[in-house]
Amino acid sequence: MEISLQNIGRRFNRDWIFKGVDYQFEQGNSYAVLGPNGSGKSTLVQIIAASLSPSEGTITHQYKGKKVEAEEVFRLLSFASPYLELLEDFSLSELIDFHFGFKQFVPGFDKHQVIELLGFQNYRNRLIKNYSSGMKQRVKLALAVCSDAPLLLLDEPTANLDHQGVDWYLSLIERFAANRLTIICSNQEHEYSFCKQQLNIVDYKRV
């Protein structure tokens, strides 16, 4: 997966959130989108995911040398964020079945192994609405990394996680991010310290 941003800008009413973003994301590399809270990191990630259109500029997605139309990008990405809602009236087992009705498992994985990866064997039949915030965040991350997609987008991935959860997240990245295009949206260094490239949204603020 390759993504090219050319003079990308986004505004809210008359105020520009950012302007003039020229950047290239390439398969097999990890990138951090940085900036303080409210700076527009999540907005840029939504543009990258083709769920939001830029106010100016052009974004191009390519996969295996072929252009991917904006309405088809969702098929090639997996995503996790604190604001992503889960179906809370489902049990974990039901949620995994539902999610992987739309996505393929990464090779060698199935529902049992996702539950085992989470360490939630004793909670597989508990409704998601009865999970703690940290447990829900683990589920979001596990669904994302266990989906067979070339683009992995993680927005504030360790929100609601304790120290043990952060270590678990880092082990996921080490195990599942190889050979993908991985983009981490964050202002916490422990979430993106492994990223080889960094894009700071503050550099694209209109003065």
> What is the residue type of 137?
Q
pLDDT at 67 over 80: yes
Q: CB–CB of 160/82 below 8 Å?
A: yes
pTM metric for this prediction? 0.94
Please list the alpha-helical segments (H only) found in 14-162.
41-48, 92-99, 111-118, 133-145
Dump pLDDT digits (tens) for 79-123: 999 989 999 999 999 999 999 999 999 999 999 999 999 999 999
The CA-atom distances, in angstroms, between 78 and each of 89, 96, 98 are 22, 14, 15
Of residues 38 and 207, more confidently modeled: 38
Q: What is the pLDDT of residue 38?
A: 87
Dump pLDDT digits (tens) for 158-184: 999 999 999 999 999 999 998 999 999
Question: Which domains does the chain show, CATH number per domain?
Answer: 2-204 (3.40.50.300)
Q: d(Cα 109, Cα 20) in Å, to the nearest integer?
A: 41
In this structure, how many other beta carbons lie within 10 angstroms of the beta carbon of residue 153?
A: 22
